[in-house]
Amino acid sequence: MSLAPKKITSGRVYGGVEQETRAAERREIFINAGFEVFGTVGYRAGTVRVLCKAAGLTDRYFYESFKNSEELLCAVYEHVISKSMTKVQQAISKAPQDIEELSRAGLTAYFSCLRDPRIGRILQLEVLGVSPKVDALYLKNNRDFASLIVSLLPVPPSNRKSATNSLHVVGLALAGASSMAATHWMLDDYRLPQKSVVDACVSIYLGAFNQIKEATK
């Protein structure tokens, strides 16, 4: 299943379709256009004019759904991160209940998503330094990723509550390590085999997990 937004033909919508449905369809067309534009030429080159041309719709319909290109960037980012996280969670749910296998399954799914350079560019590059609003969205998703990692940690339930803060920091650190590895992998044109990148990240995860396990016995 592709992570790209579903393509919708932007031709004329005929009578009998409710106004809300037509508006929702046009919004999805713009999300699809934003995915292509932001994922190829980048957010800063993705003016409203460029986005409208890619969508095959006028700016009247752009402003029907979005205040500006930043708001569209947020919508595209949330769409892509949601699809990516679903892929990661599905991979983890199907993996053997072993900490190494769970980590490997999740990381393999994560890096597989990023093999599409449009997804990688949107998730790792285009959302950085845009505005406080986009920064807040980016940080929220980092926290969500960290929480997913923390859920894998081999910590007894009786100790998990008392160690919540420190575990969350570990989760953020591992999420950051994965993200940095992914960014360099992409910028290096995916030169290293994906398995090598995943193996390196798994080693980092296992090192942290083993330390946590010893500290929370």
Kindly report, residue by residue over 189-199, the tens digit of the pLDDT: 999 999 999 99
In this model, does residue 121 exceed pLDDT 80?
yes
Question: At 2, is the pLDDT very low, low, confident or very high (cuts 50, 70, 90)?
Answer: low
Average pLDDT over residues 85-111: 95
Mean pLDDT of 137-149: 93
pTM, full prediction: 0.85
Q: What is the pLDDT of residue 1?
A: 37
Tell me what pLDDT residue 152 has: 83
Mean pLDDT of 52-79: 96
Question: Domain 73-215 class?
Answer: mainly alpha
Average pLDDT over residues 189-211: 94
pLDDT for residue 10 is more than 50: no
The residue among 62, 70, 47, 55 whose CA lies nearest residue 126 is: 70
Q: 27 is written with which tokens?
A: 């919004």
Number of neighbouring beta carbons within 10 Å of residue 68: 10
Whole-number pLDDT of residue 153: 77
Q: What is the DSSP string of 135-200?
A: HHHHHHHHHHHHHHHHHHS---HHHHTTTHHHHHHHHHHHHHHHHHHHHHHHHTTT-S-HHHHHHH
The predicted structure's pLDDT at residue 177: 95
d(CA 190, CA 185) in angstroms, rounded, equals 5
Q: Among 87-91, 109-113, 165-169, whose mean pLDDT is lowest?
A: 165-169
Domain pair 19-69 / 73-215, same fold? no
Residue 3 confidence (pLDDT)? 57
The domain spans of the chain are: 19-69, 73-215
Given this structure, which CATH class describes domain 19-69?
Answer: mainly alpha
